[in-house]
Chain A
Amino acid sequence: MGEFRMPALGADMVAGTLTEWYKHPGESVRRGDIIAAVDTDKGSIDIEVFEDGVVERVVVAEGQKVPVGTLLAVIRRVGETAPSPPVTPQPTVIPAAPPSPAAPVAPAAPSAPTQRPRVSPLARRLAAELGVDLAGITGSGAGGAIVQEDVEAAAPSGGDRQGRMRRAIAAAMARSKREIPHFYLATTIDFALASGWLAQWNAERKPAERLLPAVLLLKATALALLEFPELNARWENERVQPAEGIHIGVATSLRGGGLVVPALHHVNRKRLPPLMLELRDVVQRARTGNLRSSDLADGTITVTSLGERSADLVLGVIYPPQTAIVGFGSVVERPWVVGGVVAPRPVLMASLAADHRASDGHRGAAFLATIDRLLQSPEAL
């Protein structure tokens, strides 16, 4: 029998509330299927199962908050027979906080299709998190659609979603600054070749096939990490433990405030077009409240880019237990010396914040130089 447990969706997560089962006892599941939703401090996350089989039984009921690692359900694997009646220990249930009534979570939407209100995806997920019945809400969005603000207004004490996210970010970042001896490096990269290559690529393609600079930066970072495994690693048990794959967490801002860091997997192995599709997909899902457990559990390093908001330089805070975060600023035109002549060139600043227990400045500088070198041959990325 397979055990389906409450996953840890980030270093700061200690517990989660199971808000909805999408699969029920007797239903078949396949590896990668989403079988439940869990409410965390960073929002509602879809949880995937990692084996094929049949849901044998559910251990934790909807609405229960349980610690990370708690058995949620038992999966009967393909080829296994149904067992004799099980003896299942009761999960440790964490009581709801006083202001939140321990009422069961309301369904996200009424079952009758004719009564179904128009609801934005984010509002639907938020309603499930907060136990708000959408049937009782009058939408204020386009065409009467129910939007995030409507759900927050209907929730007791406004849901305090922002407050919970800020506290989650505070916990992870304070732990990072308290425990990790950061060192910081930055370099300015001539982005002319990359910009030119990108402009040419995009000019020849339809909008759906175009690339953003971010995808070049992610791929260059991933390829550089092959030579610097200590920066694609975890610091645990007083030693650096290099990760097996290069899974880059992409710091993604959310409209209305806060951020999440979903991961792109095996970035070094992927060509730019599929990587662009994955980036678009994960950012879209992050902003509509549709992230999955595998998006949040696997990051081995983080990349943050604040160039969109005209920041030249970002010096990040490492997301523990990772050992590094890479930052990219705006691509800007600057006077630049090329072949002894000053000329306007598009440049950007790349930065590294690294854990000094895992690496040193000499290695960090070489890592940034490698990213620079890779970006000078964009066609090879």
Chain B
Amino acid sequence: MTRAQVRQAVLDALITIVPEARPAEIKPAVALREQLDIDSMDFMNFVMALDETLGVDVPEAEYGRLSTLDACVDYLGGRLGIGAEPS
């Protein structure tokens, strides 16, 4: 799996939680809770979707590492053993 695929999986999970969201408009470095108006219930569903699609069980103590789209890709990529893409 590549980082691009992880990013797409995160976006897909977000769309299942917030169907009205437009992936192209999600700012990668802005807090997801703020820009998508999601609460703890939505976030729980988001974590469940990631568990189902990527097989990554995010402990509650590490929810804070999923604050933005970029942070999600970094964290999940790390958990999946995917290194950063060369710049």
Contact = CB atoms under 8 A, between A and B. Distances in A.
Interface string A283-295: 1100010000000
A253 B37 CA distance: 10
Contacts of A256: 20
B58 interface: yes
A123 B18 CA distance: 12
Contacts of B85: none
B58 A207 contact: yes
Given A206-B57, A208-B51, A210-B60, A122 B20 contact: yes
Interface string B54-67: 00011111000000
Given A203-B59, A207-B48, A280 B19 contact: no
B48 to A, nearest CB: 4
B45 interface: yes
Contacts of B61: 199, 203
Interface residues on A, range: 20 to 34
Contact of A142 (B23, B37, B59): B23
Contacts of B19: 120-123, 141, 145, 147, 288
Nearest to B50: A207
Given A203-B59, A203-B60, A207-B51, A255 B20 contact: yes
Contact of B41 (A145, A203, A255, A280): A280
B40 A199 contact: no
B20 A308 contact: no
Given A208-B51, A210-B60, A308 B22 contact: no
A308 B57 CA distance: 23
A123 B19 CA distance: 9
Interface in A99-149: 120-123, 140-142, 145, 147-149
A174 interface: no
Interface string A172-215: 00000000000000000000000000010011001110101010
A279 B41 contact: yes
Interface residues of B, number: 22
A284 B22 CA distance: 19
Contact of A207 (B21, B39, B44): B44
Interface in B24-43: 37, 39-41
A283 B41 contact: yes
Given A279-B41, A280-B41, A308-B39, A206 B20 contact: no
A263 to B, nearest CB: 16
Contact of B51 (A120, A206, A255, A308): A206
A120 to B, nearest CB: 4
Contacts of A284: 41, 45
Given A255-B37, A308-B39, A141 B44 contact: no
A202 B18 CA distance: 24
A275 to B, nearest CB: 13
Nearest to B47: A207
A208 B51 CA distance: 9
A264 B47 CA distance: 24
Interface string A329-355: 000000000000000000000000000
A122 B61 CA distance: 33
Interface string A226-254: 00000000000000000000000000010
A212 B44 contact: yes
B20 A147 contact: yes
A142 B22 contact: yes
A141 B22 CA distance: 6
A280 B60 contact: no
Contacts of B41: 212, 214, 279-280, 283-284
Contacts of A141: 19-20, 22
A327 to B, nearest CB: 16
Interface of A: 120-123, 140-142, 145, 147-149, 199, 202-203, 206-208, 210, 212, 214, 253, 255-256, 279-280, 283-284, 288, 308
Given A121-B19, A123-B19, A207-B51, 18 more contacts: A120-B20, A140-B22, A141-B19, A141-B20, A142-B15, A145-B19, A148-B20, A203-B61, A206-B51, A207-B47, A207-B48, A207-B57, A208-B48, A212-B44, A214-B41, A280-B44, A283-B41, A284-B41
